[in-house]
């Protein structure tokens, strides 16, 4: 019913998206209150839809985002993806509306897939569950170490890696892992590698940042982390850290360390994708400025 | 057999009272019969109730009720139904205690008590635990619940957000509520608790999230945690002490839960306990299995990764382990070992042995000595390419190196696929036929190219699993298995994985449901389809049978598609995304044509 309504009437759009404002930290009482409120909205929306009423409302940019994952996004709007969403909203003359959901397995399915929102600000280019725009940045996995250690690591083939205490993000089983973790195990580097579950403890702010904290507090000698995360948290640690892109840039078969990042919309939402592509062309400089401000390490297209 | 004639005579009997008393006579006869393989652990006479998911401590899911027989089942009719108002997978077994039925729903885990003495079974009470909304986001596959348990006037339920709750069975009032874990660290609970003496036994889920598996015992009266046994880590955490006597040498060293892992990896190693527990009151031992190791790839966790994909025998009062055995050491295929343990006394090579029969995810039916942990036989019940059998001397599974998943390499024909030869869906055993009825799947998979994926703003790569029908082209099967001679007797092929449990009865009919919406009854001996009923949404629940307050035998099933295999419908996965729901979506892409979301309790009886 909603999907049919949605196409006809923007009013329903905004109503249906309030149904699922689910924040991972929300406690049940609060959640219930939200739901019942939302239910009233929905009922209202159904009434409007079925009655075929229409009136023009301000356009809404409905964004699916993680409420607790800087530097990308958080509920306070402090991430670079929040800033990019604001930029898009301004361009579209729209108001930003978020559906908050932890960006984990099922994120796309439970947000974009349920029609609760229309846009994910960051996904890998060509990411299969969604339709992606042109990439707007490309970053790389990096070595992160304390400056006072003067390790100057740049290569995965550095023999010192056999001895150093290394930290990587752990994704999950089923053959999935961060590329540097795969690359290390290929080289037989296993027993000195500590995994930091990317999910972490969701009651803490920005759970994936624990990996960078571990470098700063000396729990590990070096982290192999995704660039945007490392670029944002390193300068915020109490001791100076240094970053270096992982080389070689690829580790065949199948492994690469740099990824182009696009925006994602529903597979069939070609008009929105095209609109976003035009905006990316138009506002390229502003986008780059935001990424610059957040310390996102960017690399040129080097990998086939 | 005498009983068959008996029950056909009974059909002619119109007087309910007489019916019941003859039935009772038969029960007396059956308990003293020496010809039957006795299922130890539950020699109490049939009370017509269903107070725990597996019916009895031996987990036979066998009821001595026998009004419904092969001869009269064609008249079986819908007696009443109840709409659950849910649209996620319904995996729970309804419980029946006295004249009340209790059902527990998937997240948000609402419990209903239905008054069976009222026409149409009116709602007696309803309880809402209001679990944290975040639980949905971190549950691995579907937000299922596999059922409640009853003892001492209490209904015990587990919630997705890692709480165990005791309710007053009469009123639905909360008696105690205990938090067992942390959802924000990826822990959830989906399993049905088992109550043994004064202990409530509960295990966690979340092996994909860097969770360390455990089984916890709570005091039934107070809800206080009595003990917790981890599946990984040092012996003191695993509750391995002086009484630990594993059968095989490979399991006899100290601190194997640490030694068989790279440093620290055991702390997040998985081995969650989301399946079934059995209990043998005579040996005073509980039996349960542990989930797959994780979250590292197999090459990043060299070693056996104990005690994941393993079974424990423990003392229920102290939690101390008596023995353990690893079905799939260093698991590479997501072969959780959480399946049901059916405790039987069977003649094996001319000698009656106390055995534990276990159709395992890795594709073998294990028959084990439940006193010692010795594997007496391990026989494949599906096509298996990932291993070549079990070396009965060392106890080790012999892996096939050709089907070892390797990063960046295409590996085809991995059988069984990661949901295994069979998953959580519990088998039933009839002591009358001596047959184990195994609901299972027939799935294989290929590991293909690595594609970029994304979690928490971080791109990563993983092997894409593409799951498809195994040899024969069908995806599910209901197999009748002779555990004494370790052989298949007959089987029914199904279009989709048989993701529902099985039920066996003294009427010599067995029940199961299909994802394409059929609730079926077979002749327990021949497998002949005797009766079927089309429900609204696909079945992944556990059928049960009970004697109603009116003395009639009823059969109940919750129908509502979902679970891992059904997620393509319940979670609205994109069928074009072959690797969605860990690769299951490809195997199930035509399921949406056969069922829609929904939730209904169906209860059947003879007119």
Smallest CA–CA separation between A223 and chain B, in Å?
14
Q: Are A246 and A176 in contact (CB under 8 A)?
A: no
pLDDT of residue B184: 83
pLDDT-based confidence at residue B162 (cuts at 50, 70, 90): very high
pLDDT of residue B597: 87
pLDDT-based confidence at residue B463 (cuts at 50, 70, 90): confident
Of A2-11, B137-146, B258-267, which has the strongest mean pLDDT? B258-267
pLDDT of residue A43: 43
Question: Is A171 within 8 Å of B264 when comparing Cβ atoms?
Answer: no
Nearest to B422 by CA among B498, B494, B366, B486: B498
Contacts of B212 by beta carbon, 8 Å cutoff, 6+ apart: B230, B231, B232, B233, B266, B267, B268, B269, B270, B271
For A91, counting Cβ atoms within 10 Å of its Cβ (0-12 exposed, 13-18 middle, 19+ buried), the class is middle
pLDDT of residue A47: 42
pLDDT of residue B450: 74
Return the number of other C-beta atoms located less than 10 Å from residue B49's C-beta.
Answer: 18
Distance, CA of B158 to CA of B108 (rounded, Å): 11
Residues of chain A found within 8 Å of residue B457, distances taken between Cβ atoms: 66, 69, 71-72, 103, 122, 208, 226, 228-229
pLDDT-based confidence at residue B297 (cuts at 50, 70, 90): confident
Average pLDDT, chain A: 83
pLDDT of residue A176: 81
Question: Is A126 within 8 Å of B452 when comparing Cβ atoms?
Answer: yes
Question: Is A207 within 8 Å of B456 when comparing Cβ atoms?
Answer: yes
Q: What are phi and psi of B227, to 5 degrees?
A: -155, 160
Nearest CA in chain B to A226: B458
Task: Among 3.30.830.10, 3.40.50.720, 3.40.600.10, 3.40.190.10, name the CATH number for the domain at A139-258.
Answer: 3.40.190.10
Q: Looking at residues B256-277, what average pLDDT do you find?
A: 95
Counting residues of chain B whose pLDDT is more than 90, the rounded percentage is 75
Distance, CA of A283 to CA of A63 (rounded, Å): 19
Residues of chain A found within 8 Å of residue B295, distances taken between Cβ atoms: 170-173, 195, 197
Q: Domain locations in chain A? A: 1-57, 139-258
The CB-side HSE value for B486 (13 A sphere, CA atoms) comes to 16
pLDDT tens by residue, A11-43:
233 333 232 333 333 333 333 333 334 444 444
Q: Are A189 and B421 in contact (CB under 8 A)?
A: no
Is the pLDDT at B299 greater than 90? The verdict is no
The per-residue DSSP string of B187-256 comes to: -B--SPPEEETTEEEEE-B-GGGTPBPEEEEEETTT--EEEEEESSSSHHHHT--TT---SSGGG-STTH
Is the pLDDT at B407 greater than 80? The verdict is no
Is the pLDDT at B592 greater than 50? The verdict is yes
Question: Is A31 within 8 Å of B208 when comparing Cβ atoms?
Answer: no
pLDDT of residue B595: 86
Question: Is B262 within 8 Å of A190 when comparing Cβ atoms?
Answer: yes
Closest CB from B138, B334, B572 relative to A173? B334
Nearest CA in chain B to A178: B460
User: Which run of H or E residues covers position B521?
Assistant: strand B518-523
* Mean pLDDT lowest among A48-62, B148-162, B294-308: A48-62
B416 at A interface, C-beta within 8 A: no
pLDDT of residue B135: 58
pLDDT of residue B578: 54
pLDDT beneath 50, residues of chain A: 1-56, 303-304
Bigger pLDDT: B277 vs B418: B277
pLDDT tens by residue, B23-77:
333 333 333 333 334 444 344 578 999 999 999 999 999 999 999 999 999 999 9
Q: How many CB pairs under 8 A join A and B?
A: 216
Q: What angle do CA B194, B200, B205 make, to 5 degrees?
A: 70
User: Which run of H or E residues covers position B510?
Assistant: strand B509-513
Residues of chain B found within 8 Å of residue A114, distances taken between Cβ atoms: 572
Nearest to B187 by CA among B163, B201, B165, B204: B204
* Mean pLDDT lowest among A26-40, B314-328, B440-454, B491-505: A26-40
Closest CB from A22, A109, A203 relative to B184? A203
Is the pLDDT at B487 greater than 50? The verdict is yes
pLDDT of residue A245: 96
List the single best residue of B459, B464, B597 to mutate versus A (max A Cβ within 10 A): B459
Nearest to B380 by CA among B403, B394, B360, B395: B360
Question: Is B453 within 8 Å of A176 when comparing Cβ atoms?
Answer: yes
Is the pLDDT at B383 greater than 70? The verdict is yes
Is the pLDDT at B8 greater than 90? The verdict is no
Is the pLDDT at B343 greater than 50? The verdict is yes
pLDDT of residue B409: 82
Average pLDDT, chain B: 89
Nearest to B292 by CA among B330, B340, B248, B263: B330
Q: Are B476 and B357 in contact (CB under 8 A)?
A: no
B281 at A interface, C-beta within 8 A: no
Bigger pLDDT: A255 vs B563: A255
Distance, CA of A91 to CA of A6 (rounded, Å): 22
Residues of B with catalytic roles: 208, 292, 334
Q: Looking at residues B465-476, what average pLDDT do you find?
A: 91
B420 at A interface, C-beta within 8 A: no
Smallest CA–CA separation between B524 and chain A, in Å?
38
Question: Is A177 within 8 Å of B572 when comparing Cβ atoms?
Answer: no
Closest CB from B140, B295, B458 relative to A229? B458
pLDDT of residue B213: 97
Distance, CA of A26 to CA of B199 (rounded, Å): 32
Closest CB from B207, B270, B573 relative to A109? B573
pTM of the model: 0.86
pLDDT of residue B131: 83
Residues of chain B found within 8 Å of residue A74, distances taken between Cβ atoms: none
pLDDT of residue B32: 30
Distance, CA of B481 to CA of A295 (rounded, Å): 62
Smallest CA–CA separation between B72 and chain A, in Å?
44
The three state secondary structure string of chain A is CHHHHHHHCHHHHHHHHHHHCCCCCCCHHHHHHHHHHHHHHHHHHHHHHHHCCCCCCCEEEEEEECCEECCCEECCCCCHHHHHHHHHHHHHCEEEEEEECCCCCCHHHHCCCCCCCCEEEEEECCCCCCEECCCCEEEEEEEEEEHHHCCCCCECCCHHHHCCCEEEEECCCCCEECHHHHHHHHCCCCCCEEEEECCCCCCCCCHHHHHHHHHHCCCCCEEEEEHHHHHHHHHHCCCCEEEEECECCEECCCEECEEEEEEEECCCCHHHHHHHHHHHHHCHHHHHHHHHHCCCCCCCCCCC
pLDDT tens by residue, B517-534:
999 999 999 999 999 999
pLDDT tens by residue, B357-379:
999 999 999 999 999 999 999 99
């Amino acid at each position: 019913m909603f999907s049919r309504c949605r196409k006809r009437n923007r009013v329903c759009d905004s109503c249906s998206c309030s149904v699922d404002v689910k924040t991972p930290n929300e406690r049940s009482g609060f959640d219930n209150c939200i739901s019942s409120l939302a239910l009233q909205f929905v009922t209202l929306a159904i009434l409007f839809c079925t009655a075929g009423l229409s009136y023009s409302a301000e356009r809404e940019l409905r964004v699916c985002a993680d409420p607790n994952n800087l530097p990308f996004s958080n509920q306070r709007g402090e991430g670079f993806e929040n800033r990019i969403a604001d930029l898009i909203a301004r361009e579209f003359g729209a108001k930003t509306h978020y559906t908050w959901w932890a960006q984990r397995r099922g994120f796309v399915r439970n947000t974009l897939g349920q029609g609760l929102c229309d846009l994910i600000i960051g996904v890998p280019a060509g990411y299969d569950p969604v339709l992606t725009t042109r990439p707007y940045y490309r970053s790389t996995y990096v070595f992160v170490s304390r400056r006072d250690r003067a390790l100057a690591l740049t290569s995965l083939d550095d023999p010192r890696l056999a001895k150093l205490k290394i930290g990587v993000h752990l994704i999950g089983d089923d053959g999935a892992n961060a590329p540097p973790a795969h690359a290390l195990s290929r080289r037989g580097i296993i027993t000195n590698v500590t995994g930091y579950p990317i999910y972490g403890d969701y009651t803490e702010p920005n759970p994936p940042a624990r990996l960078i904290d571990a470098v700063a507090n000396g729990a590990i000698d070096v982290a192999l982390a995704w660039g945007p995360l490392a670029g944002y948290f390193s300068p915020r640690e109490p001791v100076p850290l240094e970053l270096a892109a992982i080389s070689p840039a690829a580790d065949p078969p199948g492994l690469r360390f740099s990824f182009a990042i696009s925006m994602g919309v529903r597979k069939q939402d070609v008009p929105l994708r095209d609109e976003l592509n035009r905006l990316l062309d138009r506002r390229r400089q502003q986008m780059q400025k935001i990424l610059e401000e957040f310390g996102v390490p960017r690399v040129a297209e080097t990998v086939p | 057999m005498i009983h068959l004639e008996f029950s056909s005579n009974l059909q002619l009997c119109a007087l309910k009272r007489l019916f019941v008393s003859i039935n009772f006579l038969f029960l007396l006869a059956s308990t003293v019969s020496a010809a039957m393989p006795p299922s130890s652990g539950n020699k109490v006479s049939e009370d017509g109730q269903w107070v725990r998911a597996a019916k009895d401590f031996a987990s036979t899911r066998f009821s001595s009720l026998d009004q419904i027989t092969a001869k009269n089942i064609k008249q079986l009719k819908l007696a009443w139904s109840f709409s659950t108002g849910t649209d996620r997978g319904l995996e729970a077994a309804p419980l029946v205690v006295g004249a009340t039925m209790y059902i527990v729903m998937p997240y948000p885990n609402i419990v209903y008590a239905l008054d069976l003495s009222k026409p149409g079974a009116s709602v007696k009470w309803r309880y809402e635990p209001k679990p944290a909304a975040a639980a949905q986001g971190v549950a691995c596959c579907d937000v299922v619940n596999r059922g409640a348990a009853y003892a001492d006037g209490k209904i015990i339920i587990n919630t997705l957000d890692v709480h165990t709750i005791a309710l007053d069975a009469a009123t639905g009032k909360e008696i105690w509520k205990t938090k067992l874990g942390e959802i924000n660290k990826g822990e959830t609970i989906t399993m049905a608790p088992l109550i043994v003496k004064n202990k409530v036994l509960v295990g966690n889920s979340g092996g994909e999230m860097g969770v360390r598996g455990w089984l916890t015992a709570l005091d039934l009266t107070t809800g206080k945690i009595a003990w917790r046994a981890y599946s990984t880590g040092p012996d003191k955490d695993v509750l391995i002490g002086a009484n630990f006597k594993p059968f095989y040498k490979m399991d006899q060293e100290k601190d194997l839960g640490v030694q068989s892992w790279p440093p620290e990896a055991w702390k997040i190693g998985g081995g969650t306990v989301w399946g079934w527990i059995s209990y043998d009151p005579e040996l005073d031992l509980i039996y349960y299995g542990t989930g797959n190791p994780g979250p590292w790839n197999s090459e990043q966790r060299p070693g056996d990764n104990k005690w994941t994909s393993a079974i424990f025998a423990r003392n229920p009062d102290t939690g101390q382990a008596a023995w353990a055995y690893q079905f799939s050491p260093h698991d590479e295929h997501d072969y959780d070992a959480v399946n049901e343990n059916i405790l039987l006394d069977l003649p094996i090579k001319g000698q009656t042995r106390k055995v534990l029969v276990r159709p395992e995810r890795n594709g073998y039916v294990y028959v084990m000595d439940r006193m010692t942990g010795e594997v007496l036989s391990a026989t494949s019940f599906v096509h298996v390419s990932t291993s070549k059998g079990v070396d009965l001397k060392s106890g080790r599974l012999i892996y096939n190196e050709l089907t070892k998943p390797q990063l960046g390499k295409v590996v085809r024909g991995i059988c069984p696929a990661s949901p295994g030869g069979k998953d959580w869906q519990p088998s039933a055993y009839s002591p009358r036929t001596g047959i184990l009825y195994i609901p299972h799947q027939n799935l294989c998979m290929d590991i293909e190219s690595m594609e970029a994926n994304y979690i928490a703003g971080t791109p990563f790569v993983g092997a894409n699993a593409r799951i498809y029908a195994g040899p024969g082209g069908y995806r599910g099967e209901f197999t009748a298995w002779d555990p004494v001679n370790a052989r298949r007797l007959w089987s029914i092929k199904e279009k989709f994985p048989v993701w529902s449990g099985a039920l066996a009865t003294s009427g010599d009919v067995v029940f199961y449901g299909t994802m394409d919406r059929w609730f079926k009854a077979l002749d327990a001996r021949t497998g002949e389809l005797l009766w079927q009923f089309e429900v609204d949404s696909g079945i992944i629940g556990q059928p049960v049978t009970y004697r109603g307050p009116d003395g009639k035998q009823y059969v109940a099933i919750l129908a509502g598609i979902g679970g891992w295999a059904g997620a393509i419908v319940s979670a609205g996965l994109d069928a074009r995304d072959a690797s969605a729901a860990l690769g299951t979506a490809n195997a199930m892409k035509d399921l949406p044509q056969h069922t829609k979301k929904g939730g209904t309790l169906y209860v059947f009886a003879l007119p």
